[in-house]
A = this chain, B = another copy of it.
Amino acid sequence: MSTPFDRIRRFLDDQQPPTPCLVVDVDTAADRYRALAAAFGPATRIQYAVKANPEPAVLRALRAEGASFDVASPAEIDLCLAAGARADTLSYGNTVKKPSAIAMAHAAGVREFACEATDDLENIARHAPGAEVSVRLLVDPPASVTPFGRKFGCAPDEAAALLVRAAELGLDPAGISFHVGSQQLDPAAWDGAIALAAKVATDAAARGARPRRLNVGGGLGVSYTDQAPPVTAYAAALRSALHAHFPGEAPALVLEPGRAVVAEAGLIRCEAVLVTRKSAMDPHRWVYLDIGRYNGLAETENEAIAYRFEPVGEHTPDDGPVIIAGPTCDGDDVLYQRTPYRLPLSLRSGDRLDILAAGAYTASYSSVAFNGIEPLRTYCISGGRLISAE
């Protein structure tokens, strides 16, 4: 069976671009979007989280599939519009924004803004009069692989008050939003948050503000070294939580996947620059790659995301334990020293490796030039052929 990784590998083997590089198969991103849309049904609005991978070719492919977009900044608005997205399919999901950013978004035609604080709400009323507002709720979900902590959202009482205040300010108190943490492998994690949102909705409705949408964020997991549940399991769990906690008229569901759309569409090819032992007695080898935390693998911080590595070419079946590190002179640029990884004993300096499912939260996180190392290059393919290179 042909997998997206096969198409990417064929491209890499043919073209041999310099490593490290990320190749994104935009057909796979479109496939994943379609699978989500099918699992959640036409009543669910799917807003792709642009931050996961803002490549123009990815945005164009998703726009063609009918996706909406979750944007974090004026620059992401520009990217989506340049990719042909209609402004009314964009949602300004960042609750931290300057008045100038709100005014820019409003002038561009963006109608919906996330909000979690009175100051921001008043800025929205001033610079985007009449806008739809989605109030972000602080929730306390089960742990995810990369949790949000308490950074975003406000307490339930505050959320209801903001919806009411939005209406008073002439804004449309359209929705409630929350996020249960990125790479959330437990489909039941949304249940408590949906219950809390239902309480806020009831409370706000009693005071005349009736949110009609429920934005349950992203967070759907993908398979790295761990196996993620299928999309259909998330859809079933969310549907059942919605029915349980909104026994009357349920709000329309909004989903903001990033990783679940684009991670499995990408593969990074890199090189083992150095394979060595610190001493003859060292039980494990240190494998230093030409990619690390500062040029694409930022999500290895605290070893959160454990990527799947596959050596390229022929190797012995025998393997041994390794510590995997990046190419900068920075002591923090070690990818995995606690997570047990094994690589072939035949691996040598100069050998190449593939990092699977690396399409999300990689290239856009790259540093501009830390240690003089350039940001991760991205090549986008469709139909197996190159359609863009940056």
Contact = CB atoms under 8 A, between A and B. Distances in A.
B75 A280 contact: no
Contacts of A155: 278-279, 282
A271 B157 contact: no
A334 B151 contact: yes
A138 B278 contact: yes
Copies in the complex: 2
Contacts of A154: 276, 278-279
A98 B272 CA distance: 9
A372 B50 contact: yes
A329 B301 CA distance: 17
B276 A93 contact: no
A146 B332 contact: yes
Interface residues of A, number: 81
B372 A278 contact: no
A288 interface: yes
Interface in A270-288: 271, 273-276, 278-280, 282, 286, 288
Contact of A372 (B79, B182, B365): B79
Contact of A367 (B152, B273, B331, B364): B364
A364 B294 CA distance: 10
Interface string A320-352: 000001011111111001000000000011100
Given A96-B273, A273-B98, A371-B94, A278 B118 contact: no
A142 B200 CA distance: 51
A367 B369 contact: no
A73 interface: yes
Contacts of A373: 72-73, 75
A321 B134 CA distance: 28
Contacts of A333: 151
A202 B279 CA distance: 19
Given A118-B276, A149-B332, A366-B368, 19 more contacts: A49-B329, A72-B329, A72-B371, A73-B372, A76-B371, A95-B274, A96-B274, A97-B273, A119-B348, A149-B334, A152-B331, A155-B279, A155-B282, A157-B279, A158-B279, A298-B367, A301-B301, A364-B368, A364-B370
Closest 4 CB pairs of A and B: A148-B331, A75-B372, A155-B279, A117-B276
29 contacts: A51-B329, A51-B370, A51-B371, A74-B372, A75-B372, A76-B372, A79-B372, A94-B371, A95-B274, A96-B288, A97-B273, A98-B273, A98-B350, A116-B276, A118-B276, A119-B274, A119-B348, A146-B331, A149-B334, A150-B278, A150-B337, A153-B278, A154-B279, A155-B279, A181-B331, A298-B367, A364-B367, A364-B368, A367-B367
